[in-house]
Chains A and B, each alone.
Chain A
């Protein structure tokens, strides 16, 4: 199978486009979830007294 055929099969096959759309959204969901968690962690060591759910896991 040449590259051209592969590319054509990629754009032409029903179902693959839907998978692309769904994977893009899923990937974004994962990245944004991690990003939000990273932001909320902040600098924990400077805030020992702050009691909240976030500090229960590290």
Chain B
């Protein structure tokens, strides 16, 4: 077993430290999160068996509400990981390496909650399989099912493949963990030996998959938006909805990465492994996205208001001065004004401010999803004076929403206690060429086209 070769990494002990032991604090936090999840499960069970969707505040014409908002938000959050690990991999941004796994884990754990949101929103979840038996490809929902499930599957594989060398490391190094945990590493490592060929093939496979994943990211969030965009409802039926959703997804995802990194750094004492320079790199990206968001917002609302079509203007009026004005303007403050000021003037070398801004961005992006979905429904085309919609989410909806988020945090927190959250092999030091030639295995980052180390810019 010890024949397996692992790249050297100064940070090995720091990164593996959280895995050795589950603390009392962990148990308490997990317990709390699990309680919230249980409350949500109970609320859902009640909705499923007893009340049906009458437990929600949905009505005619507001047929979609919080659940669909959550669906779009979670799928958007999921774009963090793929953006960091796939798009930045293609772009050759070496600084991304320490945070790839932490970001991909967000993808991995938020996608299932996006899918769950759809099931929760269905009137007849017991008939979900009808989608496969009777699926019609003309429906945007089928595009969603295909793209999201392929994305979920590919993310799992992409994540797992890049986890393999570290699983093998856990298998070989962590001998003091409980037997079941060690057995888990043994099984999951699939007999990885860390020879040069394996590492080379792994790098090639990940590079190839990164291209595919990038295409998937664009596809997934675009088709998610097309569920709305393909209808002819005012406010939804715009070609910009796809790109806007995509940008928003990457924006909120990247902001989520900032939050996660700051927590990991603090709780697991990874100051060395996750240097401030990472936050500075993310800061530059986030400034770009904030401005991109402004551009999209202006492009969309200028077109609508200049065109002045009555149906469209009623929806826009709902946002700017109607029932949703408070959310609309709160969104502007939370997503744009405050974060941009923080990013530009306070964010540099200051993790606290970065996290503040990132949290605001994520709250604001959730509101944005809500603002895109609901106001349109409250002003249907026909006889809007009479069929005006009002929507007040109920406790059931809020409890289930809270449970989905708690579930995401819980899975994430547990994952960091059982698996190395920093990719040790990718951040590993390059070996002397001679040394690796003599061993039966080797890891040669320079030969594989990577130039920058883990220290960031």
Q: Do chains A and B touch in the complex (CB under 8 A)?
A: yes
Chain A residues engaging chain B, CB cutoff 8 angstroms: 10-22, 24-25, 28-29, 32, 35-36, 38-44, 46-47, 49-50, 52-54
Q: Is B135 an interface residue (CB 8 A)?
A: yes
Q: How many CB-defined contacts (below 8 Å) exist between A and B?
A: 113
Quick one: given A28-B153, A47-B440, are A12 and B136 in contact (CB under 8 Å)? Answer: yes
B20 at the interface (CB under 8 A from A): no
B426 beta carbon closer than 8 Å to chain A? no
C-alpha gap A36/B134 in the complex (Å):
33
Output the least CB separation between B288 and chain A (Å). 32
Knowing A17-B136, A42-B195 are in contact, say whether A49-B3 is a contact too (CB < 8 A). yes
Residues on A with C-beta less than 8 A from B201 are 38-39, 41-42
Q: How far is the CB of B350 from chain A (nearest CB, A)?
A: 41
Give bound CA distance, A8 to B239, whole Å.
23
User: Once the chains bind, are B3 and A13 in contact (CB under 8 Å)?
Assistant: no
5 further A-B contacts with Cβ under 8 Å, apart from A42-B193, A46-B195, are: A19-B135, A20-B137, A21-B149, A38-B201, A43-B198
Chain B residues with Cβ below 8 Å from A36 are 157, 161, 190
**Chain B contacts of A49 at CB under 8 A?**
3, 440
- Which partner residue on chain A sits nearest B142 by CB separation? A17
Contacts of B198 in A (CB 8 A): 39-43
Interface residue? B138 (CB, 8 A): yes
- Max chain A C-beta neighbours (<10 A), residue from B3, B136, B149, B441: B136
Per-position 1/0 for B125-162, Cβ under 8 A of A = 00000011111111100100110011001100100010
Interface size of B as a range: 35 or more
Subset of 25 A-B contacts with CB under 8 Å: A11-B136, A11-B137, A11-B138, A12-B138, A14-B134, A15-B133, A16-B135, A16-B137, A18-B131, A21-B131, A25-B149, A25-B153, A28-B150, A29-B153, A38-B201, A39-B201, A40-B192, A41-B198, A42-B199, A43-B196, A43-B198, A47-B440, A50-B4, A50-B193, A53-B191
* Contact pick for A54, options B134, B138, B190, CB 8 Å: B190
* Interface contact B197-A46, CB-CB below 8 Å: yes
Contacts of B133 in A (CB 8 A): 15, 18
Known interface pairs A28-B154, A39-B201, A49-B440; A21-B146 also in contact (CB < 8 Å) = yes
Q: Is B205 an interface residue (CB 8 A)?
A: yes
Residues of B within 8 A of A29 (CB): 153
With a CB–CB cut-off of 8 A, which chain A residues contact B88? Answer: none
- Decide if B137 touches A10 in the complex (CB within 8 Å): yes
At the interface, yes or no: B202 with Cβ under 8 Å from chain A? yes
B interface residues, Cβ below 8 angstroms from A: 3-4, 131-139, 142, 145-146, 149-150, 153-154, 157, 161, 164, 190-193, 195-202, 205, 209, 440-441
Check A42/B196 contact, CB under 8 A, given A11-B136, A18-B135: yes
Complex Cα distance, B199 from A39, in Å, reads 8
- Bound Cα distance from A20 to B135, whole angstroms: 9
Q: Which residue of A lies closest to B134 (CB)?
A: A14
B423 to A: closest C-beta gap in Å: 16
Residues in A neighbouring B200, C-beta threshold 8 A: 42
Contact residues in B for A38 (Cβ distance below 8 Å) = 201, 205
Q: What are the residues of chain B within 8 A of A46 when measuring CB–CB? A: 195-197, 440-441
Q: How far is the CA of A20 from the CA of B133 in the complex (A)?
A: 11
CB of A24 within 8 A of CB of B135, answer no
B201 closest partner in A (C-beta): A39
Chain B residues, Cβ within 8 Å of A32:
153-154, 157
Closest to B154 in A: A28
CA of A29 to CA of B209, assembled, Å? 14
Taken together as a complex, chains A and B put the C-alpha atoms of A54 and B133 apart, in Å, by 38
Distance in Å: Cβ of B125 to nearest Cβ of chain A: 17
Q: Please give the distance in Å from B102's CB to the nearest CB on chain A.
A: 23
**Within the complex, what minimum Cβ distance (angstroms) separates A51 from chain B?**
8
Residue on A nearest B204 in the bound complex, by CB: A39
Closest to B199 in A: A42
Residues of A within 8 A of B136 (CB): 11-14, 16-17
Contacts of A16 in B (CB 8 A): 135-137
List the A side residues contacting B145 at CB < 8 Å: 21
In angstroms, Cα B198 to Cα A53, docked, is 15
In whole Å, how far is B172's beta carbon from the nearest beta carbon of chain A?
12
